[in-house]
Structures are given as structure tokens and as C-alpha cells.
Structure 1
Amino acid sequence: MTTLPDPPTPSSASVATLSRAAGESLTDQIVRTVAARIDERMLRSGSRMPSIRRFAESHGVSPFTVVAAYDKLVARGYLESRRGAGFFIRERTPLRSAAPVATMPAVETEVAGHSLDVVWLVRNMFRQMPHQQMPGTGVLPSEWLDGDSVANALRAIGRQNASLLLNYGVPQGFVPLRQQLQRKLAELEISAAPEQIVTTAGVTQGLDMVAREFTRPGDTVFVDDPAWFLMFGSFAALGARVVGVPRLADGPDIARLAELAALHKPKLYVINSVLHNPSSTSLSAAKAYQVLRIAAEHDITVVEDDIYCDLHPGSAVQPATRLAALDQLQRVIYLSGFSKTMAANLRVGFIATSPELARRLADRKMLQTLTTSDIGERAVYKILSEGAYRKHAERMRTRLDGLRARTVRQMERVGLQINMAPPAGMFVWADAGCDTNVLAERAMAQGILLAPGSLFSPSQLPSTFMRLNVAAMQDPAIWRFLEKELREKELREKAPGALSKSS
């Protein structure tokens, strides 16, 4: 047992006693003791923690133990990490609890004249194809994700009391996870008590729950144009009319949004504020205020889909305005999840909204599916609370940054036009100058999956654009295919008979 004196000043953050014989790991002993001293106001907010090396030397532990402890304290909201400056004690504001509230009791997308539709793309995304041959996919390669953390979390859950794994979970979601999500949202300047958070089986279920709550057959739902294709068919199956709002580099076309809102009086507007799918562009602050103004004027509920949240480096590095941060969940319903950055197979997402609506959505979820997977939610909680997820997300962003500029230049060399070069995220919205439905059919014949632009618009009209995933563009066969097809297109435009003569 190592016994150390109490700190001469509160900011030194020494741990009085560490025991290698205890059933608790050294890391957890440090976390527990430092957290208790912060809770008891023995350590002042804003104070700098001892450096990792100094803490390790003074307590006779390895630097790795201190790093793990500090990461856990960051994840739990006790410390903040400042690049190049160290770790500091975070201002501790009490985690508020919402007051109790009373409970309240495609149709497939049609593609006229084309053999490709949303179902075609989704079905092929789930084929057992090598990821390197799927530049149209919407996920990162599995080797980019932290499989070890997921496996470790599941093993740890398996060692718990077996009875915890055999029963239904809580309809609103695993409580410790919702408490952890409260901290995560606070870092985005969104204030939400655990009672305002409802877990879902991914953002897909969250969107469906919200649409069922707000819309009836004949109602109108606004989406960006282009936007995530899967929701078009889902909304249409509910009898809703889906109307696209033109999306520009800094957000929606505000003039067009105002015109369409006055004309259609929509119930919902679903929008990606940060890292829009498929362009990876983000909403400007000016546009965000205008969206909220129009929504208030026409009584529109805004649904903010922030599934790519952790692929954005943060507002300190790049501008990123979230509508929920401006509105504080009054008119905005916030959705996010971890399928893109942690594991798609866990299917853990969440909704953050007002207390009253959260209760209604939890009741609706209970009627639809009883509960979501408690095991998956426990795994996500463990990964988030252990602190390593923050570094994992940073590694993914760094890896994408290393590929993006080089991949965009290669796209332009083979003949693609990039009108909106994204500064972050995994997607590029590229103009091929030809009908990308035809291009996608030819690519699939060679075992390459492309995502044609027609599928990203509620109009489903032919488009020259397509979504490309920079993390799935490393196979030389993809570049050979694109270069050949786009060169032949150019020849056809210059001399209609050139191809037939040369062949």
C-alpha cells in the first residue's frame, strides 16, 4: 500500500492512499478520489491538474494509469482537456432533473422510369461486398472503428449479475447512459436532463417515432434536397407528403424555405445542421437563426439529425452551429447516435426534447417495441464513461482529414466536379456530368457500389450528382472505372460517333 500526504493546496489533487491489494483498480481509485474532492469543492474549478508525469511519479504509478484516470474524469464531466495545456477542473453545474409531467395516452420510394431505388441501394449496402468496392456506402470501414472497446464492454457486461441481462430494460432507456448523454449534450451547449432523453434503435427509429407523433396522412414534411434517402420512403409510408428544400453550402436556401413554408405549412422540417448527408457541409450561424425564425413564424417543429456529430472537430476548430443549442429544445428535437463512429450493430441512438414530448415518445416507443436493447445501451455507456471514446473519435477525424484533400484532388483529376469541398466528414457530393443512375448500374456490373444522386432527392429525378465516401475510395479499380466512364462520356459529347468507331 502506498500512503501519501494530503495535498498542501487543493489544486495539487494528490490522492491520499492507493492500494494495489484492493479489489478496485488503481485507475478507478484515482478517479473515485479526485471526483469526490471535486464534488466536495476541495479542488477549485478552473485549476490545472498535475501533469501526467508528475502525478505518476508522486503516486508511484505508471503514466498509462494516470492517462486512463484523467480520460475517465473527462468523460464523466470532472475535467476538461486543453490541447497543449493539460487537464483542468471543469466548472461543475448541478445536473438538473426535469419536473415530473403527466403521461399522454412506401410505401417504397417510387422512381419513375428507373430500375434503381432506395431499396436497391440499401439492399446492396448490406451485401457481403469488400468495403473497398463500396464508395456509395454510408459507413466507415470496420477496421477504422474501435472493435476492441466494443468487445471489452460486452465482456464486462457478461461478467455482471446475469439477472440484469435477462429482463426488459427501461422504456425511456438505460438511466446511466441517459445521464452520460446529458454530459455529452452539455459539451455541445444543449441542456437536457435525463428525463428529456429517450434512447432509440438508431436515428432511423427516432425519426420514425417523431414522424408518427407529429404527422397524419396528408401532412407535409420538409427535408433538405439533397438529404438522407431512407426517410423519404418512411415518411411516405405514413401518408405524409415529402417536400425538398434546396440545400446550399451553408444551409438551406432561406428564400425558398420561406416560400415553401407559407405554401405548405409543414408539420416537421428534418435537417442536418452539422456534416450534412450527402455533402458534409454545415449550417452557418446566420442560416441557423433564419431557420428558427421561419419555423416560429409558421409553427414548424424542427428535427435536427446530428448522427455525424463526433466526426466534426468542434466549433473551436471549425464553425458548427446546432439549432438545438440555440433553441434549447423548445421547438427543436435533437437526434443522434453512435452507429457511424462506434458500431452500427449496437443500434443505439437517442432523442433529446422537451420533458413532455420525451414522455410521450417513450410511451410510443413502449407501444411499438417495449424497450430497446438494454445490453447495447449498457455497452455504449461503458465505452463512453471509460473515456477512450474521445480519443477514438479524434483518431477517426485525423484519418479522414489525411484522406479527404488527396481524394478530392483525385476525383477532380478523373473528371468529377466538386462544387462544395467539405472541410470535415466522410462524404463528398460530386458532379459526374452524366446520369449517375446509369453510372451506378454500370458500376454494379463490375462489383462497385455507387450512390446516385437521384436517390437523395424526394423528387427522385435523374441527377448528375452522386455521394462518395472518401474512406471507401482506396481500391484502384474504382478510379479506373470512373476515369474510363467519364473519359468516354467526354468523347461522346465531343464526337457522338467516336466511341462506336473505336470499339
Structure 2
Amino acid sequence: MERSGTRIKAVMAEIRSRIASRIYMPGTRLPSVRAQARAMQLSVSTVLEAYERLAAEGIIASRRGSGFYVTGPAAPLALTEIGPRLDREVDPLWVSRQSLEANASVLKPGCGWLPPAWLYEAGMRRALRSLARADALELTEYATPLGHPGLRQYLSRRMAVSGIEAVPERILLTESGTQAIDLICRFLLEPGDTVLLDDPCYFNFHALLKAHRVQVIGVPYSPNGPDMEKFDAALREHSPRLYITNSGIHNPTGAALSPVTAHRLLKLADSSDLVIVEDDIFADFELSPAPRLAAFDGLARVIHIGSFSKTISASLRCGYIAARGDWIESLADLKIATSFGGGRLAADVALRALTDSGYRRHMETVRLRLAEAMDKTVARLKAIGIEPWLLPPAGMFLWCRLPHDMDAAAIARTCLADGVVLAPGNAFSQSLSARDFLRFNVSQSTDRRVFDVLARALASAQA
């Protein structure tokens, strides 16, 4: 009886999950009892009992001679119900929430940002004091549809240094880099479209794309960029609409796109309808700039985005999109439709901080501190048997393999109980092929307690 009850609950959970993820919308006819039984390799009587229980709860309804149908209204969108069920420790939303909700006593080597003391607080304070004396319009009015003209002019000059030709009229300011990608997805994607992601990649890409209900295909990432053979195969097999990547410092691996890979990638894209979204959020951490796809492409099929949350302040919500002119017009309309006017304050603070005489010196100091933290973190990890996948040329991330094929999610669970938040590899992997990897943020790994807790967790896992 107990096994039968478990099987009935499994059928009910499957149907509830499909309703919660909106695969089954109101009015959808469920698979017949026999079809569901074959799909789940269960008896017809088990599935029938599950359907009857769901009907008793009012979730589905039986129509004589026709079958069972989902009742309305549509379930609220539950992102955790979309795609395979993951252990919470490798769910992208869980990892983000653990990092964001942790109090000051918790160590966060798994988070993706600099410690507060490493950010440009002095420049922020100067910018805010200056803005307090500005014209009232800067403090009270909506921004123009494209956003602050001065900041767009600055970004145009800044991109030109990387070879990207984007006049201010082809730049749209957003509330963040995440909003930039969300607007692009709204503009170019329909539910069911296919998107390519690096495997591994920044885990919030996975979470955001779930909200757009698209199919995600992972392409293995190498030290020089995406695996070109696998990328070509994915283009041919899936006809994807978008590819989202980092060209500069890659998250989570710390790798950089090579010129050869960049040229091959764009050549493959030219033979398809693929649009590439290039996230350049880590540009100011580079010591030697990597190639930019937008520079090679001239913003024809590449959309270039970024923000300032990693270098100035995470509280400063300001990002941007650079794209072809007709797309910028449509994206500006979408921005108005979804958030109306952007804020003047954040853009004005960003411009004042970026053009402040101290910003260049600030970033020189940050790059030096990151290089020192990288060396120390690598040495401390090696001492407890953890090896980096590669030694990044710059940036804050180390992508590391655990010894003895250990389960990174289990290690993260153990360390969390001791006040250390880690980022397990499968949170970044669409194929769930990074089970024994962890991403370390070296700027958040300066406290020796991180390695003491981690060493105990490793020893416990081997015992």
C-alpha cells in the first residue's frame, strides 16, 4: 500500500509541476490515463487514482467520454517548477537568495560581487553631494526614453576604445544589466524559442530564461571560448534565436574569448538567424582587453550590454544596451511599456562617478588587490586539494574542481551550516555536468575561515 501511495503521489506531483510551469494551461486536456501510465511506466489504476484525487482537489476536472482537463485560472508562474527539479543547493535562485540574504557574519566566497569596502564608495559620496546641488529636474523628473544623454555620450566614447562604434543614439540606458537582457528577450523571443548559453555560464541567465519559457541549450565552454564544433552542431540542430555570453572575463570560468574563436563564432552566426548578446559587465577588471564580438560585427547581429554594479556600487542600478538603431527604438518602447521612464538619479550618479578623477586610480587598486587575492586563494585551495580549471588572467572568479569526484552541492550544504556560502558547479551548468566544481570569488575569499570550513567539509566527505 505504501509503494502504491508513493506512485500515486508521483503522478500528482508531475501534473502539478506541469500546471505550475504553465506547460498545462487552463482547458488543456491531460494525457489519457493509459498514455500517462505508459509514459511513467505505472499501472493504469495508479494513474486513474491520481487523476481522481486531483479532480477532488479541483485542480483538474473530468468530462464524460472526453478525459481530464485542467481547470482555471492559470497558475502563478513558479520558476522553480520549470525544467528539471534540482537540489536547492544547485538551484540558481537558491544560490542567489543565499548570497543576498546572508548577514554580515556569513562568509560568501560563492557570491558574484566585490566586498563593500572594495567598491567605489568615495566616488559615490562625491557624486551624491554634487548631485544634491544640481537642478531640481535631475532630482525629480523622469529620464528621457533613451536615458541620460551625458552618460550615453560617455559610453559611446568608452566603447570606441574597444573598437565598438556606437553613437549615443544607438545606446539605451536600463535599470541594470539583468533588465537589459530581459528587454532583449521580450523583444526577440517567443515561448518555445531556443537560446544557446555557455556551459557553464552565469547562473542567473538560467533563471531569467525560465521566466521567458524558452528552450535552453548549453554549449561546452573552453579556455578560449565556446567549443566551436558543438556550437556549430547546436546551430544546425536547434536553429537558436539567441546566444548569450561574456566576451571579456567569463563568468564563472574566468576565461577570455580568443580572436580566432571570436571570428569563427561570428562566421557561423552569419549563416543563421542567430543574434548574440554580449555581456561586458567585467570590462574594467581586465588587464589586457579580450576581443569584443560587437567590435568585429559592427552591432549588426551582436547586442552589447553592461552595467556598473560590479565596480561602482551594487546599489546603483544602472545598465545599458548598445544595438542597431531600429532595435534601440523598439527596445525603448518596450522599456516605457514595462517600467515607463527610467531614473535620472542613478544615471547621473554613475556618470559623475565614472568621470571622477579618482575612478581610474580606484580600478587600478581593485585590479591589484584582485591579483593578490587570486594568488593567495589559489595557494590556499591547492593546500586542501582543490585545483583551478585555469588560472584567469584577471577578474575575481576561480572555477575549481573538487578532489575525488566529490559532490559540490553536498559540500556547499555542509559549509552553509558553518556560515560559508558556496556556489556549486551545477548551478552554472545547463547539462548538470559540473557536479564536482565550485566557483570561488577571490575577493570574498580573504578570510582564512573559508578554507578551514571547506577543509573540514572535504575531510568529512572522504570519511
Bucket of the pairwise TM-score, normalised by the shorter protein: 0.7 to 0.9
| AA matched with 1:438 | A
2:427 pairs with 1:466: no
**Counterpart Cα distance in 2 of 1:311 and 1:462:** 26
Q: Is the 8 A contact 1:435 1:462 kept in 2?
A: no
Q: 1: CA distance between counterparts of 2:360 and 2:374?
A: 21
TM-aligned CA deviation for residue 417 of structure 1: 1.8
1:201-280 matches, within 5 Å, as 201-280=175-254
CA contact (8 A) 1:278 1:467 kept: yes
Gaps of 5+ in 2: 1-77
Change in 2 beyond 3 A, CA 1:452/1:386: same
Q: Does 1:379 align with 2:345?
A: no
Deviation, structure 1 residue 142: 0.8
Cα deviation for residue 462 of structure 1 reads 6.3
Task: Say yes or no: does 1:114 pair with 2:87.
Answer: yes
Deviations 1:90-109 (A, max 9, x none): xxxxxxxxxxxxxxxx5236
Give the CA deviation at 1:190: 0.7
Kept after mapping to 2: 8 A contact 1:415/1:486: no
Task: Give the equivalent residue in structure 1 for 2:385.
Answer: 415
The alpha-carbon deviation at position 178 of structure 1 amounts to 0.3
Structure 1 position 450 matched with structure 2 position 422: yes
After the TM superposition, list the runs of 4 or more consecutive aligned residues in structure 1 that deviate by more than 4 angstroms. none
1:426: which partner in 2? 396
Task: Spell out, residue by residue over 1:175-204, the C-alpha distance to the aligned partner (whole angstroms, 9 max, x if none).
Answer: 111011111111111111000000111110
Listed as ranges, the gaps of 5+ residues in structure 1 are: 1-105, 493-498
Letter matched to residue 336 of structure 1: G
The corresponding residue for 2:38 is: none
**Number of equivalences:** 382
Percent of residue pairs identical: 35
Q: Normalization by structure 2: what TM-score?
A: 0.80
Aligned to 1:439: 411
Matched, 1:294 2:268: yes
SS of aligned partner of 1:178:
helix
Q: Structure 1 length normalisation: TM-score? A: 0.74
Q: State the SS of the aligned residue for 1:173.
A: coil
1:399-444 C-alpha deviation (Å, 9 max, x unpaired): 1112212211211111112121111100000111311111111111
- Pairing of 1:19-30 with structure 2 (within 5 A): none
Q: What amino acid is the match of 1:471?
A: S
Alignment-mate amino acid for residue 160 of structure 1: A
CA contact (8 A) 1:134 1:450 kept: yes
Decide which of 233, 257, 262 is 1:283's aligned counterpart.
257
Match of 2:399, SS state, is strand
CA distance in 1, matches of 2:137, 2:434: 54
Amino acid aligned to 1:355:
G
Aligned to 2:321: 351
**1:2-45 Cα deviation digits (max 9, x unpaired):** xxxxxxxxxxxxxxxxxxxxxxxxxxxxxxxxxxxxxxxxxxxx
Per-residue deviation at 1:486?
Answer: 2.2
| Superposition deviation, residue 154 in structure 1 | 1.0
Aligned to 2:117, what secondary structure does the other structure show?
A: helix
Determine whether 1:366 maps to 2:336: yes
Cα deviation per residue 1:461-480 (whole Å; 9 max; x = unaligned)? 66100110001112222111
Rounded to whole Å, the distance in 2 between the matches of 1:196 and 1:280 is: 29
1:104-131, Cα deviation, whole Å (9 max, x unpaired):
xx52365535233122111111124337
Residue aligned with 1:368, SS: helix
What is the CA distance between 1:218 and its match in structure 2? 0.9
1:146 matched to 2:109? The reply is: no
1:72-87 pair list within 5 angstroms: none
* Residue aligning to 2:361: 391
Separation in structure 1 between the aligned mates of residue 304 and residue 199 of structure 2, nearest angstrom: 20
TM-aligned CA distance change 1:131 to 1:461, over 3 Å: farther
Kindly indicate whether the alpha-carbon contact (under 8 Å) linking 2:138 and 2:344 is maintained by their aligned counterparts in 1: no
Counting only pairs closer than 5 Å after superposition, residues 310-329 of structure 1 correspond to structure 2 as 310-315=284-289, 320-329=290-299
Contact 2:224 2:261 in 1 (8 A): yes
